[in-house]
Each structure stands twice: as structure tokens, then as C-alpha cells.
Amino acid sequence: MALNARLSALVMASLLGSEAARLAAAQPQGTSQTPPPIALPPPPGPVELPQAQGIIGATPPTAMEEEAPVVAPHWALGDARQLLAVILSIGKRGLLPADYEPAALKAAIDGGEGADLDALATRLFTDLATDLRDGRTPLSARGDWFINDTDAKTLPLDIALQVGLESHDIDGALTRLEPKHPDYAALKAELAKTPATSTTKIARLRANLDRWRWLPQSLGVKHVLANIPEYMVRINTYGRNIAAYRVIVGKLDTPTPQISAPAVGIVVHPPWVLPQSIIKQEVGPLIARDPAKARARGYVWTGEGKTLSVVQKPGPTAALGQLKLDMPNPHAIFLHDTPNKALFANNPRAYSHGCLRTERAFEFGILLSLLQSGQRLDDADARNKIADNLVELIRAGDTARAPFKEPIPVYIGYFTIATAGTGPLQSFPDLYSWDAPVIAAFAKARKDLNVPPVALAPAVSPAG
């Protein structure tokens, strides 16, 4: 019990701010400080958490092709002129006016109301709405992107069009489809004041604006968001970042993919089922060369050659550390502890096989457990109970799972221009060179990017 009490006390001190102070003092320039846990008021009314789903693919960028066809309604000249004004100024939102045929729309307006104007204005509204909601970048140019974007279901375009025409507020109907995250607004503001001659900066701002459109408009009232180029992950609840942690991301040859997945619990003393890529490149040769050394590192295996399967048992030097976030997804990517904590002092931090090794993982797990429990963050009894439970599970030494009552959505994104949780925008190195294909897609006409949706097989990426 004495060990239990000491561990609980250390964790509680960390959650109450002493660890936050230590991080602030040691924080490398360009990353945010960890805010201390805060007492949060209950939301003003019932708030429904969007259902977190397992990833079996990603919403293709041409999501309109999956929706019911939009029948061309009647366009009054005033509404059509509003649409033309939005198109001519759409560069302020990071899209390209030429993609939406302003000259053709003006000619149709000059020709007066009728079927031709109705058909053209409806098509251009739909194209623009699709890009503002889902992004303009084709799937093939997004890097390793496997995010479940539900906006096609929650923000149907036929409803947006109907609302715009009935309210005679075309701009408002389109604006409601855009991302609501503060970083998106900050990127738009930065773009608006960037000189036209700063073409490189404009291209990067466009790319990062589009990345926000690849995500669901609502990330969930409680969610986790990691930014790969920043090497950080944050916990957000009711629109506020309440904690930030450094992470170690995938190496250049095993990049961390952009994914979304539901966190459904915490696993203590997790075994590591090695992917075939790591078995082939690293552990398989070690087993063949020095099986005694492989056993000393906790590896157990069955089969041989192409049928070789390897698991690393939990232990003090196990790659996954003492706990991992249980977030089922077909890419075997998750956030977890690590025994090599000295690496968190480095910047850059790209050493993993794809998973996110998370700083102060025990504190991270306690905070997520507290959030999903529905208790207030300042509820000391609830916090102590959760901490004690995890401490007891770790002391027991066996693999065990502490399930959540409700899933918490987790998103792993890739933003090379972003705020560090709060404050001004910062630039981060393009670790995997994923900016270039997005920028190249913007250099092409939109009509040349209308490729059929790509079906994504649930492939398993390297992890660890």
C-alpha cells in the first residue's frame, strides 16, 4: 500500500501542476506548454459525442459523388450574383477562383434567369461547397491519409443549397460548411494579410487550410489531436486544450499515418505483436543470429521464415512501456509509453516504427480515464480512484485492460503551419515531405483532379 500511495501522490502532483511547471522550464522553443488541469463547467445543455468508428477506409475527396444528385433549383439573379462574388473572393479562403468558372457564371447571369443559369449555378455551388467541406486535394496527394470524415453525412450539400437559396444568403450557407477549428481561422487570417508576391508561403497556407477540411468539422466535445510535424499531442474538451504532451513519431522510412480511431480504454503491461516489416528487417535476423539475445529482450516466436510470428512480452525494457491507449484501427497505430524517456528531450523526435510514443504516458492515461468517466477534472475523489486503479493494475504485473465507458475520438494529423495549441501560428519542418504533393495538386485545374474515389484496403502499417 505504501508504494501505491507514493505512486498516486506523484501522479496527482503531476496533474495538479508541478509537472506542468517542469515542462514549461524544459520546453524546447516552438512547442506549447502543458496547461494545468482545470475545473470545467458542465456544458450548457446535452451535448452528443459523435460516434467514433473503426477505420475501414477514408471518405474520398469527391464525396459529392456518393450523395444524392442535386436537382437544379431556381436561382434568382441576386442569389447568382452572390455566388459569383463568393467565387471571386474565394482566394481568401485558400481556394482558387478559376476552378469555379467565374466568367461562365457571369455570362449566364447576363443572360437572365432560366434553366441554363439554374444548372450552372447549382453545379458551381456544389463544386465549391464540396471543396470547402471535404477539401480540394485528391486522395492520392494527401500522404498516408486514413481519416473517417463524416461531414458528407452530417453536412449534406442539398440541404446547404436549399438553405442558401431560401435565406438568400449564399455566402452564409457555404461558410457553415467550413472547419470551425481556431487554427483554420488563424490560417485564413494569415493568408489574407500575406502579400501576393509571397507565393511559397501562400502555397503552404493553402495546403494546411485544406488539411483541416479533410477532418470532420466536429472532432468531438472530448477528443485527442496529435500533430506529427510538431511532435505533440493534445487533449481537448469543450473547445479547450487542457493538456499537451511531447510525442515521438515515425521514422522517415516508417512514417506515422494520418488516421482517426476511437480510444476505448487503457491497456497496462501491453504485449507487442510485431508487424511483419519489423520481423523481416530487424527481429527475424536477430532471432536467426542470436536466439538467446532475442529471448533476453522479451521476444517469443513461432514458425520460421515467412511464417515467423513474434511477440515481445511486457517488461521493464519492452518497447511499449507500461501502458498503451487502446484505439482499434487496421493500421496498428496507437499512443503508448516507452522505456527510453530521454528521447523526449530531442527535437526532432522521429524514431518510432509509426506509433506515437507519448511523454508522461501514465498521466496521459489518467486524464483520459477521468474525462471519459464523466467526472469533473477537479473531483479529487474520482481522480484518486482512477489513479489508484491504474497503479494497482501496474503493480499486479499482468496485462490488463481498463475500458472506457464511452470512446474518445483520436486524430493524428499533419500540419506544417499551426498554432501550438494557443497563440500565434508557427511553422514546423515538413518531416515527410507531404506538403509538395498537396501544393502540386493546387497547381492543377480542379477539373483535372476529378478522379474516381479510391477504395482503401485496411492495410496494416508498421507500428511501435
Whether pLDDT at 317 is above 50: yes
Torsion of CA 388, 391, 392, 395, to 10 degrees: -160
**CA torsion sign, 85 to 91 to 93 to 99?**
positive
- Residue 463: pLDDT band by 50, 70, 90 thresholds? low
Q: How far apart are CA 403 and CA 388, in angstroms?
A: 15
The pLDDT, as a whole number, for residue 67 is: 57
Whether pLDDT at 438 is above 50: yes
* Residue carrying C-alpha cell 458528407: 152
* Residue carrying C-alpha cell 519492452: 318
- Cα separations (Å) of 295 from 38, 288, 290? 45, 12, 9
Higher pLDDT, 101 or 315: 101
Which distant-in-sequence residues (6+ apart) come within 8 Å of 173 by Cβ?
129, 160, 161, 163, 164, 167
The pLDDT, as a whole number, for residue 331 is: 92
Residue in 225, 236, 459, 453 with CA at minimum distance from that of residue 329: 459
Q: Say whether 398 sits in a helix, a strand or coil.
A: coil
* Residue carrying C-alpha cell 486503479: 389
The pLDDT, as a whole number, for residue 450 is: 64
pLDDT digits (tens, 9 = 90+) for 170-224: 999 999 999 999 999 999 999 999 999 999 999 999 999 999 999 999 999 999 9
The pLDDT, as a whole number, for residue 373 is: 76
Strand partners, 263: 408
- Residue 26: pLDDT band by 50, 70, 90 thresholds? very low
- Residue 36: pLDDT band by 50, 70, 90 thresholds? very low
- Residue 10: pLDDT band by 50, 70, 90 thresholds? very low
Q: How far apart are CA 276 and CA 310, in angstroms?
A: 9
Higher pLDDT, 393 or 232: 232
Higher pLDDT, 288 or 55: 288
Annotate 422-438 with DSSP letters as a single string: EEEEEE---TT--HHHH
CA angle 453–459–464, rounded 5-degree value: 135
Residue in 219, 205, 237 with CA at minimum distance from that of residue 426: 205
- Listed range (16-25, 317-326, 398-407, 418-427) with the worst mean pLDDT: 16-25
Joined grid coordinates for residue 60: 474520398
Q: Say whether 147 sits in a helix, a strand or coil.
A: coil
pLDDT digits (tens, 9 = 90+) for 110-147: 999 999 999 999 999 999 999 999 999 999 999 999 99
- Residue 22: pLDDT band by 50, 70, 90 thresholds? very low
Joined grid coordinates for residue 313: 512480452
Q: Say whether 241 sits in a helix, a strand or coil.
A: strand
Whether pLDDT at 253 is above 70: yes
The one-character DSSP state at 344 is: G
Strand partners, 311: 273, 300
Q: Say whether 308 sits in a helix, a strand or coil.
A: coil
Beta strand ranges found along 159-231 (DSSP E): 222-227
Q: How far apart are CA 365 and CA 30, in angstroms?
A: 25
- Please give the mean pLDDT across all residues of the chain: 84
- Listed range (66-80, 160-174, 289-303) with the worst mean pLDDT: 66-80
Residue in 227, 51, 211 with CA at minimum distance from that of residue 134: 211
Compute the average pLDDT of residues 300-310: 92
- Cα separations (Å) of 272 from 338, 340, 352, 365? 12, 16, 14, 18
The pLDDT, as a whole number, for residue 327 is: 96
For 2-53+218-413, CATH gives 2.40.440.10
- Residue 377: pLDDT band by 50, 70, 90 thresholds? low
The pLDDT, as a whole number, for residue 464 is: 62
Neighbours of 295 (CB within 10 A): 13
Q: Are 409 and 236 in contact (CB under 8 A)?
A: no
pLDDT digits (tens, 9 = 90+) for 52-98: 333 333 444 444 445 555 578 999 999 999 999 999 999 999 999 99
Strand partners, 350: 249
Q: Are 463 and 249 in contact (CB under 8 A)?
A: no
Q: How far apart are CA 296 and CA 271, in angstroms?
A: 15
Q: How far apart are CA 391 and CA 428, in angstroms?
A: 37
What's this model's pTM, rounded to 2 decimal places? 0.83
pLDDT digits (tens, 9 = 90+) for 86-97: 999 999 999 999
Higher pLDDT, 268 or 392: 268
- Percent of all residues in the chain with a pLDDT value above 90, rounded to a whole number: 70
Joined grid coordinates for residue 420: 501550438
The pLDDT, as a whole number, for residue 385 is: 78
Domain ranges of the chain: 2-53+218-413, 63-216+432-449
Which distant-in-sequence residues (6+ apart) come within 8 Å of 132 by Cβ?
93, 95, 174, 177, 178, 213
Which distant-in-sequence residues (6+ apart) come within 8 Å of 9 by Cβ?
none
Q: Give the chain's largest Cα–Cα span.
A: 84
